[in-house]
Structure 1
Amino acid sequence: MANEVVDQGRRRFLTATTAVVGGVGVVAAVVPFIKSWEPSARAKAAGAPVTVDISAIEAGQKVTFAWRSLPVFVVNRTKEQLAQLQGLEPRLLDPKSTDPDQQPKYAQNEARSIKPEWLVVIGLCTHLGCVPDFVPDIKPEPFDANWKGGFYCPCHKSRYDIAGRVFSGVPAPKNLPVPPYHFVDDTHIQIGVDPQEAG
């Protein structure tokens, strides 16, 4: 047995073959593991922009759409509602919408929108994340004798005007956020993409 001749060629062939098969096995095991780090199709879809049809939203009406698992309010404001925005400034915490984290530059105006009649805001109270009620009528309400229309959070009584600007003296510390959005055409809004990024 000690005198047997070792076939070096065969030994190299078996070593190389074993290394190749082992390498393929490692790659086969690692690829699914690395793939698992990528977001799923469902997760990608959840963060994707959403195009919504606004053609059926009547003047004075709010419709809620989902984007990134968040409720997004789209409101078709009336001329009467828009006229009330100017008189409310002394009662608001941030009437000029100065916090850049609360709205994009193109919505940093009195109406907080691209087109004055269309409001697009994330419908979560900035206090603890409750969904505020839409109270559009311009009339006295139990929570505000001088109500001019807007949003009322039933959880802790925070109030926002029809532009989503928060009133002073309520628990909510900030205006309702305006998400990135743009008008695709006269009847469609895409939520999740700023106008300059739309192509």
Structure 2
Amino acid sequence: MSNAPVDTGRRRFLTAATAVIGGAGAVAVAVPFVKSWNPSAKAKAAGAPVEVNISKLEPGQLIRVEWRGKPVWIVRRTDAVLAELPKIDADLRDPNSLEPQQPSYAQNPERSIKPEYFIAVGICTHLGCSPTYLPDSFGEQVEGVNSGFFCPCHGSKFDMAGRVFQGVPAPLNLVIPPHHYVDDNNVMIGLEQGEA
């Protein structure tokens, strides 16, 4: 053992330098780790609202857009389709859209803000298949009803307001996504009026 005097100044310097380098290393490791908790740009874009131009949508035509990875249908309904809606209420499970999954603006016979346009998530409420739009041949599924949506997976049927018929596997009407009209030609899917 040596009885040489201990250089306490050097010891303090080395201790401080080691602490600073260790702290910097901890920050260097922590920053990417904390950033990994934030959603990626792709994830942010997937949940972002979608603006759709509906000015060229013809009566009876359906267009599909993607919002949050789900298909959203926009259908321009004809006057004949709108006139047919109240006539089939007795055949429907929830004709007045009273189930709580509906926004307040979908609690009307058309289930829409503007009767002419029907906007819904195109996924069956039974097991998540995508129903088929039958604009002229739905009568083969439900007698006396010309247009509607038929789910080929398990046979669920929905009218042109996305209301589910009785006696099919689907328990609820099709989901109406949050949306609002930006102007006469554009609709914003994913945000209700006044949301930013």
Into which bin does the TM-score normalised by the smaller protein fall? Answer: over 0.9
Say which SS state the counterpart of residue 188 (structure 2) adopts: strand
Counterparts in 2 of 1:110 and 1:140: CA distance versus 1, 3 Å: closer
CA distance in 2: counterparts of 1:4 and 1:96, whole angstroms: 93
Q: 2:153 aligns with which of 149, 152, 155?
A: 155
Identity value in percent:
56
User: How much does 1:140 deviate?
Assistant: 6.6
Q: What is the CA–CA distance in structure 1 between the aligned matches of 2:121 and 2:78, rounded to whole Å?
A: 20
CA distance in 2, matches of 1:185, 1:15: 66
The AA in structure 1 aligned to 2:71 is: P
Amino acid of the residue matched to residue 188 of structure 1?
N
Query: Where do 1:17-166 residues align within 5 Å?
Result: 17-101=17-101, 103-137=102-136, 141-166=139-164
TM-score normalised by the chain length of structure 2: 0.95
CA distance in 2, matches of 1:140, 1:40: 42
Cα deviation, 1:28-81, whole Å, max 9, x if unaligned, reads 011111211211111111111111111111111110100001000000111111
Paired residue type of 1:79? D
Partners of 2:26 and 2:48 in 1: CA distance: 34
Letter in 1 for 2:37: W
CA spacing shift, 1:108–1:140, aligned 2, 3 Å = closer
- Equivalents in 1 of 2:81, 2:45: separation in Å? 35
4+ aligned runs moved over 4 Å, structure 1: none
Q: Tell me which residue corresponds to 1:178.
A: 176
Q: What amino acid is aligned across from residue 77 of structure 2 in structure 1?
A: R
Tell me the amino acid that sits aligned with residue 178 of structure 1.
I
The DSSP-based 3-state class of the residue aligned with 2:19 is helix
1:102-150 per-position Cα deviation (integer Å, ceiling 9, x unaligned):
x21122111100111011100011111111111122x673222212311
Q: CA RMSD in A?
A: 1.3
Do 1:166 and 1:176's aligned partners in 2 also have CA atoms closer than 8 Å?
Answer: yes
Give yes or no for contact 2:138–2:149 (8 Å, CA) kept in 1.
Answer: no
Q: In 1, distance between residues paired with 2:73 and 2:189?
A: 11
2:166: which partner in 1?
Answer: 168
Q: Match of 1:190, SS?
A: strand
Kept in 2, the 8 Å contact 1:148–1:161? The answer is no
Q: Give the TM-score normalised by structure 1.
A: 0.94
2:138/2:145 contact within 8 Å kept: yes
Cα distance in 2 for residues equivalent to 1:50 and 1:116: 21
Q: Does 1:5 align with 2:17?
A: no
For 2:39, the aligned partner's letter is: P
Q: Distance in 1 between matches of 2:143 and 2:103?
A: 32
* Structure 1 contact 85–111 (Cα < 8 Å) conserved: yes
| Aligned residue pair count | 196
Q: Which amino acid aligns with 1:175?
A: N
Unaligned residue ranges in structure 1 (runs of 5+): none
Gaps of 5+ in 2: none
CA distance in 2 between partners of 1:107 and 1:96 (Å): 9
